[in-house]
């Protein structure tokens, strides 16, 4: 059409023009950072500092307890847990809350086919997408109403992060004291021979059930397999002991911690128990 001789400006020209307009507008109609923006920033910072102090106070004064016990659990958790002990394994591996989503992700994937996705795949892809966002979304529009795809994607991301964090936070912790109550049932269900009895006790108290399920008890973490019928695979006592001593030596990449500190005697008991677990139920 003769009336429009000018070509449509290229994308980058439009962006540059918009930014030049922005600069001019701010210069003309803006207001100085001090005192306007600084005022808001200062108030918000005070709120932040007060919140942090408040949390510290609630934490200390609810945890301190009447008997001044640092291990006492208050509203926000204990001051500190029992001292680290590589030999005692009645633990529940639990990260800080902002890793809960990862932690729970690992329950969804099963060893060994897909656990790799949970530990590396999904987080790496998520990070790539996050860093690459400005290059994936190259449209000029800034208004949320003009960016439906971005908004829906954001809501889905937030909801899934929130759900994973929540699930991670409320995931059933397999406490040794509760797991122990299952021992008689396990012995009956699995028809465990007397030789396997010491192993059962160990299995229930050494922290194995923090990751493994066994005959309907325990928590499935980090993609750890159910061990109800581990004996049917006839891996052999020797293999079981080696695996317990150093899981990643026999199953490369295994996230299961080494249990060498239990000592040979007890590892053997565990191995006998594992081999006796034939899932006869």
Partner 1 sequence: MATTYRRKPTKAEIRRQRMEELVTYPLDWLEERSGLIGGVRYFLFRNVPADINWMQTLGSAALTAFLVQAITGVILAMYYVPSAATDPHTGNPVAWESIVHITDDLTLGWLVRGMHRWGASVFIILMFLHMGRVFLFGAYKYPRELNWIVGVLILVMGMMEGFTGYLLPWDQTAYWATVVGINLNGTAPFLGPWLAQFLRGGQEIGGETLTRFYSLHMLVIPGAIIGLITLHLYLVIRLGVTSPPWSKEAAGMEPEEEEPARLRPGLTRPVPRPSGASAMQAEPGGQE
Site residues for ligand HEC, 153-182, by CB under 6 A, read none
User: Looking at beta carbons only, is 165 or 209 nearer to ligand HEC?
Assistant: 209
The CA-based angle 204-205-211, given to 5 degrees, is: 65
Q: For residues 18 and 102, give the distance between their C-alpha atoms in angstroms, rounded to a whole number.
A: 40
What is the smallest separation between the CB atom of 208 and ligand HEC, expressed in angstroms? 3
User: Looking at beta carbons only, is 109 or 186 nearer to partner 1?
Assistant: 109
Site residues for ligand HEC, 65-124, by CB under 6 A, read 93, 111
* Contact stretch for partner 1 (CB under 8 A) within 176-184, 188-196, 234-242, 252-260: 252-260
Return the DSSP state at 256. S
Sign of the C-alpha dihedral computed for residues 80, 213, 164 and 222 taken in this order? positive
Residue 149 interacting with partner 1 (CB under 8 A): no
User: Looking at beta carbons only, is 44 or 194 nearer to partner 1?
Assistant: 44
Residues in binding contact with partner 1, number by CB under 8 A: 94
Residues 192, 217, 222, 272: which binds ligand HEC (CB under 6 A)?
222
Q: For residues 235 and 243, give the distance between their C-alpha atoms in angstroms, rounded to a whole number.
A: 10
Structure tokens at 246: 């150093």
Residue 198 interacting with ligand HEC (CB under 6 A): no
Q: For residues 222 and 165, give the distance between their C-alpha atoms in angstroms, rounded to a whole number.
A: 15
Sign of the C-alpha dihedral computed for residues 9, 13, 15 and 21 taken in this order? negative
């Amino acid at each position: 059409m003769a009336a429009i001789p000018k070509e449509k400006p290229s994308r980058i020209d439009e962006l540059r023009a918009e930014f030049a307009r922005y600069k001019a507008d701010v210069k003309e109609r803006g207001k100085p950072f001090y005192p306007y923006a600084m005022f808001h920033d200062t108030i918000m910072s005070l709120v932040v500092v007060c919140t942090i102090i408040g949390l510290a106070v609630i934490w200390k004064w609810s945890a301190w307890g009447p008997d001044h016990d640092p291990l006492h659990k208050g509203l926000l958790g204990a001051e500190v847990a029992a001292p680290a002990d590589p030999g005692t394994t009645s633990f529940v591996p639990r990260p800080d809350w902002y890793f809960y989503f990862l932690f729970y992700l690992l329950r969804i994937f099963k060893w060994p086919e897909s656990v790799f996705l949970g530990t590396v795949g999904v987080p790496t892809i998520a990070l790539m997408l996050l860093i690459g966002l400005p290059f994936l979304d190259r449209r000029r529009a800034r208004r949320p109403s003009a960016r439906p795809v971005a908004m829906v994607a954001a809501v889905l991301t937030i909801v899934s992060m929130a759900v994973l964090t929540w699930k991670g936070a409320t995931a059933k912790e397999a406490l040794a004291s509760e797991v122990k109550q299952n021992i008689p049932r396990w012995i009956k269900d699995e028809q465990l021979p007397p030789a396997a009895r010491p192993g059962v006790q160990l299995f229930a108290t050494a922290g194995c059930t923090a990751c493994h399920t066994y005959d309907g008890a325990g928590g499935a973490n980090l993609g750890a397999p159910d061990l109800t019928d581990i004996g049917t695979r006839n891996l052999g006592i020797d293999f079981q002991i080696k695996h317990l001593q150093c899981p990643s030596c026999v199953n490369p990449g295994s996230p299961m911690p080494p249990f060498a500190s239990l000592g040979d005697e007890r590892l053997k008991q565990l191995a006998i128990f594992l081999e006796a677990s034939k899932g006869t139920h």
